[in-house]
Structure 1
């Protein structure tokens, strides 16, 4: 040995051990064991029992790490171990961990024996138990072997590989929003994950889209592509969804339409609204009625009160910075009652009893058309028809003041009155003697003739026992100071422009007064 220590003679207890403390590099060499008996024999004659070659390296062997390097999982409890082979009893060595992992939350270092160590006796070891966070990925963890003086004798290191679910997931829009309809737009799902995400799920306003890669190309982009996008990145550890990113697509007005309650009634208040989808929103509007441009530029057109002339086909035109679009026509129906009603008599006048009377109701414009016509006589409903005419046979009972009423769902209009007088010949003719049918001689008798006729009778005639007495327009014939010869049957006849009619006979008896009266002429008026 270059530096053989001086052996100590055996004490007789059989212990011939040699302990080399604080070994150095120059302690390397061949060591042997021999017996020397009090120096009685020359050293050269002594034989070595066994020779051992001791190799001393300048650097102690590095600690061993356990287990073999394998990926860790974010947040999942992990135990790593470090150990060294047994050392000489006089040597004091320690193991220590170094690296960001030692500062991880709830990191704990304890003495430890490797579970699969085959060396006997067991070597010294320490463990590190911790929950690896994602940011320890690609960080170094070292196990350091220090001597008694605290100096580093050797160390072993490994780079940690931490698997973690996608992080910092966000959607990038290129070109930046807002974009114009028709452009090509690329949506990119960015994330940080280990191992990298292998699939992506896209959604628009919560609706899952049929796309599974990190880039989503919209070509050409359309108005319906506007909205809030999210992407969900997935790897073997888990899945994480991004916060929403809004894609705003600018486009010219679409789906332009006029909205209005129709039909409406004349006099109401009506609002027509120009609805459309546009981005940015439409700024100006133009309105037309039956092709005629109206002086209005707002999104709503107010009509108060609405009139007949406001009815028709409306269009609106919406304009924004991207363009202009027209609506299809929308019909506004304005309901109004008949403008005028006039009652016309089609039968020649005068209206004679028994003739066919025809009335026609002439109505002005109405919308919708008149559904029913009511006929009034003396302000009471006489009939109801769908046609504009009414006919009946003339009868005195139908004489009166007539009106027609045109009616639709918007209301009714009544014509001015029309008087219809049915002419008829005398009827119910009667002769009324005054003071009665039995009178005394020298009495004045008034024969009054009455009749119902239209026009009233213009001539009256009186007859005595079939002989005409005379005529008078007043309906009165007077017999003055009658004698018995005036007794007999009387009747009268009434005549107008239509006909003549006689009354029933009336018998008048004249009673004689005094001695000179013939037999049978005596008596007293009743």
Structure 2
């Protein structure tokens, strides 16, 4: 499609030749100085020229079109790689036209006509013709939104749209409306796609507008997510107009980010959880499936306990237990101070029938693929206090039982001594007798 911004004017380009002094030998006229065309369409830029002398007819070798440039000699568009296969010259003895097909926005430029002469000179017109290439677009204005559809106003427009044009509206590839109005009011459902075209150029419709498709999420870097490293979650969705994005953690209502990328400059264990993104534009919104972020980290400083706590009684049992926060979960190994070989593995280390040689410091090493940590507990073994108490009780009983026996023995022997004259040796024998008698009674 071509929209003429200025028409029916001539712009002379005069070429004077030394052989014809003080006279105008050649005149070139452009019919337009500004042309606006739609992307993917075609355009024709034309000029006419008048050869006034036979000398000029002999001097003109060839003609060409080029783009205005400050880099020196103009380049023939026919040989320009960016235009190859899309340009055509339609020239005749009094004029020449440049036709460009499959227009692109990059074709927007100032085009000039050039004449080359037999004497090696070239003469380029100025300022030339300004070409602006623009795309036909559908602008969206949201009026109402529900979970199942969106009510919107669609407007078909471009920066060089002509007046009094007939418009065609297309839904999901099928024409649904034709008329002079550049806007329509429609209900847009998630699978709907709308585009427009100008009736005269219906083979060049605008790009379709549609609600966001199911977003996809990528994580960088891939693989295991390690604490304190930079992690980026990127959300993308095919949508026109382009989607806006929001990130949410778990099922919280408030977004944690309103950008397409959720960036953790130094991810922490507390960032572990499920995340999802929402892509939205005026035609609808779409939520991606939740993405679980599992942050791995080395074991924290272990907590080591002895159960029961305090001093450990000889002959009893004690359980040493170790726990550490880690992801992945830690394995546990027990060492006794001074021993190189491990004493046990597992979170709990049970020592049955504790003996004095079990006294000492025991360390627990918590380890996973990210690292390790250790912590110690001291075990003190003491004799059973009940044994001491029983010994004291027994000794007391011995003393209490020994006193009357000794008294009895002494009383008996005293009588015998008085009658027979027994000496100290006999008194000692009485004490030994009394002692033997008590122990016999205790043993019984």
Of Structure 1 and Structure 2, the greater helix share is in: 2
Structure number with bigger Rg: 1
Using structure 1 for the length normalisation, give the TM-score.
0.38
Of Structure 1 and Structure 2, the greater strand share is in: 1
Name which structure has the greater RCO, CA cutoff 8 Å, separation 6+. 2
Using structure 2 for the length normalisation, give the TM-score.
0.44
